Chain A
């Protein structure tokens, strides 16, 4: 094989992801619905219960979400529901 024709084949999926700027955080939380998503790992719920109590005490609106298992990505429907209803989201980890 001659030097001029040395080629390699691209091993990637040949997709380029679009780089989008992060949305600016809201200036304040007034009137906003805050999503609290549990990833279904142990103690995720306790953590988010505490968050909910603290937010509610400040008069903020809360919506709770949960993905079925922490071992897999959140289903599209859960992500969509959060996007539709919430201005910000807290994802509860665990341990």
Chain B
């Protein structure tokens, strides 16, 4: 029989059991390890130095003090913290610690300090990262080194050290070597590890990582047509909308400035997708990315929907998911166009007003062409709600207000060459194909305004290019 105890000086309970350890060692072989100070405990002449935590890691110590009994090489009993009856059972000794309280909880093992499990997993081979390691002579140059290698979208990236990548991987239970898909345009395999490397560079926290993985997988859905979206001349890039409890859990912004800067989760999740396309897929401006202008959302474009009003049916529920499901929706969007509509006080009038803003998507004379996102502000939604309109009435009202006589839209009508096929002059024509206008609720209070995010003309090929919503596996 051999007894092993792991302690640290910086733990009141470890100091409390010092006389108990002396008692035990007087009667049986006891190997003693200290995580922070090998001089502790002084009354026993110190302990074996485990400040590198190798022994603690292999023993899977989570709390100190921990007392373990081995028979041969086999662990047969363990107690963490101080509990007289349990210590007596594990040590097989009676009358331990007379005068001590019967019980006192232990302290956290240093192996559980933030970042330490990942560091130790890397050091001891429990986590193997396969990506090529690039040595940087001076950490100060790491960001410049990333620029030099073409890894950046133009903004500084967080240097993807093995430790940071290991911590990112702690955000998922998926194996690092699992292939999540082929990233366009090069159709290169993307492993969970490569996604983690890019998520680190984008600035994500580990708790965002399940969302990042879901966003990448959604972008790879053939219906989304990520290759075409990258290659297009048009402004558009992937716009990410997050629904469900995950958005709050990771602190996403759905309120004031939801489409703007300043929220880490919004900013970095959208950026992680773009960095994966760039670095794993090889999709870069001037290469397969042929955008004439692009738009600032191609750095990152990600926000959460505001689901706080029970009268509002969230986007993912409207698209067939159960309430309370966390989802990602990907849309092919360009920039934001504001609509000022401050004078409407009825749902009908407001729908007509918002429709005028939506009519300009792509071109006022194009119809059944690009889709759009309409983000309705809380103050605009209040007008709809007070008038008894909910999602379905709003969508129907917008559709009605957006229908135009074909004769106003055909080539040449109103002196403008752009337009639709003259064969449709006698029809009433919808602005949007079914399913390509996504109405969401977002933004802060205090403004009678809403936002249009125009879509991508390829959405007119509705069988080939669609917005895609997927559940985020948690």
In the complex, chain A residues whose CB is within 8 Å of the CB of B184 = 73
Bound-state CA distance A72–B190 (Å) is 20
Known contacts A71-B225, A71-B464; A11 and B159 CB within 8 A of each other: no
In the complex, chain B residues whose CB is within 8 Å of the CB of A12 = 151, 279-280, 282
Bound-state CA distance A73–B283 (Å) is 14
The answer to whether A15 and B464 have CB atoms under 8 Å apart is no
The interface stretch among B9-17, B133-141, B409-417 is B133-141
- Asked whether B261 is an interface residue with its Cβ less than 8 Å from the other chain, the reply is no
B324 CB, nearest partner CB in chain A, Å: 34
In the complex, chain A residues whose CB is within 8 Å of the CB of B383 = none
The answer to whether A10 and B131 have CB atoms under 8 Å apart is yes
Known contacts A1-B163, A11-B194, A12-B151; A72 and B135 CB within 8 A of each other: no
Known contacts A3-B139, A6-B136, A6-B138; A11 and B280 CB within 8 A of each other: yes
The answer to whether A8 and B279 have CB atoms under 8 Å apart is no
The answer to whether B132 and A10 have CB atoms under 8 Å apart is yes
Within B176-198, the residues touching A (CB, 8 Å) are 183-186, 188-190, 193-194, 197-198
- Asked whether A9 is an interface residue with its Cβ less than 8 Å from the other chain, the reply is yes
In the complex, chain B residues whose CB is within 8 Å of the CB of A73 = 184-185, 227
Q: A-B pairs with CB below 8 Å: how many?
A: 92
In the complex, chain A residues whose CB is within 8 Å of the CB of B146 = 8
Partner of A71 from B138, B161, B275, B458 at Cβ < 8 Å: B458
- Asked whether A61 is an interface residue with its Cβ less than 8 Å from the other chain, the reply is no
Known contacts A9-B160, A11-B275, A13-B282; A72 and B131 CB within 8 A of each other: no
A4 CB, nearest partner CB in chain B, Å: 9
- Asked whether B145 is an interface residue with its Cβ less than 8 Å from the other chain, the reply is yes
Known contacts A13-B194, A69-B464; A8 and B160 CB within 8 A of each other: yes
In the complex, chain B residues whose CB is within 8 Å of the CB of A70 = 228, 458, 461
Q: Is the interface of A mostly helix, strand, loop or mixed?
A: loop
A72 CB, nearest partner CB in chain B, Å: 6
In the complex, chain A residues whose CB is within 8 Å of the CB of B246 = none
Known contacts A11-B151, A11-B194; A6 and B280 CB within 8 A of each other: no
The answer to whether A72 and B228 have CB atoms under 8 Å apart is yes
Known contacts A71-B458, A72-B225; A9 and B163 CB within 8 A of each other: no
In the complex, chain A residues whose CB is within 8 Å of the CB of B151 = 11-12
The answer to whether A8 and B145 have CB atoms under 8 Å apart is yes
Bound-state CA distance A10–B228 (Å) is 26
The answer to whether A71 and B461 have CB atoms under 8 Å apart is yes
The answer to whether A11 and B145 have CB atoms under 8 Å apart is no
In the complex, chain B residues whose CB is within 8 Å of the CB of A84 = none
B465 CB, nearest partner CB in chain A, Å: 5
The answer to whether B465 and A71 have CB atoms under 8 Å apart is yes
- Asked whether A30 is an interface residue with its Cβ less than 8 Å from the other chain, the reply is no
In the complex, chain B residues whose CB is within 8 Å of the CB of A69 = 461, 464
- Asked whether B19 is an interface residue with its Cβ less than 8 Å from the other chain, the reply is no
In the complex, chain A residues whose CB is within 8 Å of the CB of B129 = 9
State which size class the interface on A falls in. 10 to 19
Known contacts A13-B188, A71-B461; A8 and B228 CB within 8 A of each other: no
Interface string of B209-251 (1 = CB under 8 A from A): 0000000000000100101100000000000000000000000
Bound-state CA distance A47–B14 (Å) is 84
A92 CB, nearest partner CB in chain B, Å: 15
- Asked whether B108 is an interface residue with its Cβ less than 8 Å from the other chain, the reply is no
- Asked whether A14 is an interface residue with its Cβ less than 8 Å from the other chain, the reply is yes
Bound-state CA distance A15–B185 (Å) is 13
- Asked whether A7 is an interface residue with its Cβ less than 8 Å from the other chain, the reply is yes
In the complex, chain A residues whose CB is within 8 Å of the CB of B117 = none
Within A8-67, the residues touching B (CB, 8 Å) are 8-15, 17
The answer to whether B161 and A1 have CB atoms under 8 Å apart is yes
Bound-state CA distance A3–B137 (Å) is 7
Partner of B131 from A3, A14, A15, A17 at Cβ < 8 Å: A14
In the complex, chain A residues whose CB is within 8 Å of the CB of B201 = 11
Partner of A9 from B134, B280, B282, B464 at Cβ < 8 Å: B134
The answer to whether B197 and A11 have CB atoms under 8 Å apart is yes
The answer to whether A72 and B132 have CB atoms under 8 Å apart is no
The answer to whether A72 and B161 have CB atoms under 8 Å apart is no
- Asked whether B372 is an interface residue with its Cβ less than 8 Å from the other chain, the reply is no
- Which residue of the partner chain B has the closest CB to A13? B188
**Centre residue among A11, A69, A72 by max chain B CB count within 10 A:** A11
The answer to whether B186 and A9 have CB atoms under 8 Å apart is no
Interface string of B424-468 (1 = CB under 8 A from A): 000000000000000000000000000000000010010011000
- Asked whether B165 is an interface residue with its Cβ less than 8 Å from the other chain, the reply is yes
In the complex, chain A residues whose CB is within 8 Å of the CB of B339 = none
Known contacts A1-B163, A8-B142, A73-B227; A13 and B134 CB within 8 A of each other: no
The answer to whether A8 and B225 have CB atoms under 8 Å apart is no
The answer to whether B135 and A7 have CB atoms under 8 Å apart is yes
In the complex, chain B residues whose CB is within 8 Å of the CB of A13 = 183, 186, 188-190, 194, 279-282
- Asked whether B162 is an interface residue with its Cβ less than 8 Å from the other chain, the reply is yes
The answer to whether A7 and B136 have CB atoms under 8 Å apart is yes
In the complex, chain B residues whose CB is within 8 Å of the CB of A10 = 131-134, 197
**Can you add 12 more A-B contacts, CB < 8 Å, to A6-B137, A13-B189?**
A1-B139, A1-B163, A6-B136, A7-B133, A7-B161, A8-B134, A9-B131, A11-B279, A13-B190, A13-B281, A70-B228, A71-B458
